[in-house]
Amino acid sequence: MKTKLIWVTPDSEKLIAYCARVSNPKNQDNEDYKNLLQYCIKNKHWSIFEMANMCVEIETSRAISAQILRHKSFNFQEFSQRYAKVQDFELYNARRQDEKNRQNSIDNLSKKTKEWFELTQKDVQCISMTAYHDSLKKGIAKEQARFLLPMSISTKLYMSGSIRSWIHYLDLRCGNGTQKEHKEIAESIKKIFIKEFPILSESLQY
């Protein structure tokens, strides 16, 4: 799993404050806007945070990217298995299913079971990748050869959205109920957000 910033609206917090003061034009260039941004967050004036955007690159598996793509307020561009050869897989640790909460798993499996799961992933990945490349050699199209690949296949996507969308995404996906592997991505993006939006992050208690 990797994340990195691709681009962000320049002087985002300053721009958001400038737009928030649209009805007070004489004060729009006021450099003191910390209290204003804090006020907007406290009183849930979320629309103003649509005035700036951020785009992040994410490397993960197809299983996790499917969860990320459900956030419809973002725009996405993902690696296409129709046009390019797949390269690698993600390897994951095994956890036990929580019987009381279907959205949760528990890290209490035996070392032996975890080792079995890791070796089995590697076996499946090796077999599927061999079959994938054999399919390409036989002239089978990439868009069909990919049917032989498991959900652990690596992918890369760009996720672009307004700061309002990012606030909602981080609040949701850094919280309980998010799959551990997805939560790790959200936490990594939160570090980017904190660096780029220090005033907002302080107000949001990130």
CATH number at residue 19: 3.30.1360.170
| 143 domain residue, yes or no | yes
31 with 129, same domain: the answer is: no
Catalytic residue among 62, 146, 164, 173: 173
pLDDT of residue 56: 98
16 with 57, same domain: the answer is: yes
pLDDT (tens digit per residue) in 112-163: 999 999 999 999 999 999 999 999 999 999 999 999 999 999 999 999 999 9
pLDDT of residue 101: 86
pLDDT of residue 100: 87
106 with 123, same domain: the answer is: yes
User: How far is residue 133's CA from residue 154's CA, in Å, rounded to a whole number?
Assistant: 16
Q: Do residues 162 and 72 make contact, with C-beta atoms less than 8 angstroms apart?
A: no
User: How far is residue 150's CA from residue 203's CA, in Å, rounded to a whole number?
Assistant: 42
Residue 5: what are its φ and ψ, rounded to 5°?
-75, 130
Catalytic (active site) residue 173: yes
Residue 177 has pLDDT above 90, yes or no: no
Q: In terms of residue numbers, what domain contains 7?
A: 2-80+153-204
199 with 115, same domain: the answer is: no
Residue 17: band (very low, low, confident or very high) from pLDDT cuts 50, 70, 90: very high
Q: Do residues 51 and 161 make contact, with C-beta atoms less than 8 angstroms apart?
A: no
User: How far is residue 64's CA from residue 139's CA, in Å, rounded to a whole number?
Assistant: 30
pLDDT of residue 161: 98
- Total domains, the chain: 2
User: How far is residue 44's CA from residue 65's CA, in Å, rounded to a whole number?
Assistant: 29
User: How far is residue 147's CA from residue 129's CA, in Å, rounded to a whole number?
Assistant: 11
